[in-house]
Amino acid sequence: MMDTLRRTFGQLHRIGVALPSASNVTASFQWNPGSITGKGYLIAILSVAVASGVTSLLQTYLRSTLSLPFVLAVVLSALFGGLGPGLVSSILSVLVITWHFTRPLYSSQVESVSDTIELVVFGVVAISINALNEARRHSEEARRQVLQQRLDATEAEAHILRGLLSMCAWCKRIQDEDRWLAIEAYAREHLNTEFSHGICPDCLRKVESSQLLKL
């Protein structure tokens, strides 16, 4: 059985399938029954058991697609458990298929070329599923970190706005540590805000009145 596993992963390496790094695999195999990861391993074991039962019941109908239920087991394990449970499900599936569904039965040897090809194809599909799911998980984590950074920056800006600002009673500049900045400069530096200038109706009336008095 271990010879079959070694041959399968050897074939994967030769055809260029990118296997997860040893550090990622080691970090993923952490058993804790109360954690999400621990539940993921339980899902992996149960899903392979269910796949084995379904394959036994439908073996006559599945014929050349005996590994299909096990592919679904790997997908479920990877989605709900992550890399570690996904790999456990993949390995268990290879062992069960080799031991129980390939001839000679209950042996680690695989005599049929078609069975060997099916095992290699299953290994490629299983590793690809785990690799794609891990890439998706890392992408979501990176996006979550970016959103968290934006949220932190927004909260920092809101804290600045909520704080007590020291303003010059004469020129209306705002104190920023040892500097005194115009309102526009302070907002541009701390809030990433640009100002445009116009004139309000009250000031417009004052300007017009002053112009009329000059006349």
15 and 75 housed in the same domain: yes
Closest to 42 (Cα-Cα) out of 69, 80, 94, 93: 80
Q: Is residue 158 part of a domain?
A: no
Q: Is the peptide bond preceding residue 85 cis, with omega within 30 degrees of 0?
A: no
18 and 64 housed in the same domain: yes
27 and 115 housed in the same domain: yes
Give me the domain span that covers residue 200: 174-214
**What is the arithmetic mean of pLDDT over 46-55?**
92
108 and 207 housed in the same domain: no
Which of the four pLDDT bands, split at 50, 70 and 90, describes residue 34?
very low
As a whole number of angstroms, the distance between CA 75 and CA 119 comes to 17
As a whole number of angstroms, the distance between CA 101 and CA 140 comes to 38
122 and 209 housed in the same domain: no
More confident residue, 4 or 143: 143
| pTM for this model (two decimals) | 0.54
For all residues of the chain together, what is the average pLDDT?
78
12 and 91 housed in the same domain: yes
102 and 39 housed in the same domain: yes
**Helix pair angle (83-96, 2-14), 10° resolution:** 120
Look at residues 98, 118, 150 and tell me which one is the last residue of a structural domain.
150
Domain count, the chain: 2
In the prediction, which pLDDT does 24 show? Answer: 52
Q: Is residue 157 part of a domain?
A: no
Report the percentage of the chain scoring pLDDT > 90: 24
Please tell me the least confidently modeled range out of 68-72, 162-166, 206-210. 162-166
In the prediction, which pLDDT does 214 show? Answer: 64
- Strands (E) in the chain, as ranges, are 174-176, 179-181
Please tell me the least confidently modeled range out of 7-21, 48-62, 88-102. 7-21
pLDDT at residue 27 greater than cutoff 60: no
pLDDT at residue 211 greater than cutoff 80: no
Q: Is residue 20 part of a domain?
A: yes
Q: Is residue 178 part of a domain?
A: yes
113 and 202 housed in the same domain: no
Closest to 183 (Cα-Cα) out of 173, 192, 169, 175: 173
